[in-house]
Structure 1
Amino acid sequence: RTMEKARLVVNVEPGKFKITKAKNFIDPKLNPNGLMCDWKLVNGCQFVMKGSDWYKND
């Protein structure tokens, strides 16, 4: 029931964000579901992207 109400569901794993479910996205041609990005934690409170962009792991 929680995912029914949420507009954005992001899974956080060590070093990786993944968009599990996104609703009402801006560009209907670009579906963000399944997009991932790599990150590192700096100073214990800042998320810094390792790569330059989001990607799909096909």
Structure 2
Amino acid sequence: MRDLVAARGQCAPGRAAARHRAEQLFLLREDVPAVLVLLVAVTGLNLETVKVLPAEHE
């Protein structure tokens, strides 16, 4: 069964499929550098200032 799924290029249910969904829905650790660059570009703040901003929310 797995060979058939791999041959068709489809993602097998399980961990790989869950990671793919997470990549589409959530900010992952590997996305942080790109988001920091975007925040610096949009806000005009220093990178160090952006990195130490509190994550407080209600």
User: One fold, TM greater than 0.5?
Assistant: no
Which of structures 1 and 2 has the bigger CA Rg? 2
Higher-strand-fraction structure: 1
TM-score interval w.r.t. the shorter chain? under 0.3
Question: TM-score normalized by structure 1?
Answer: 0.24
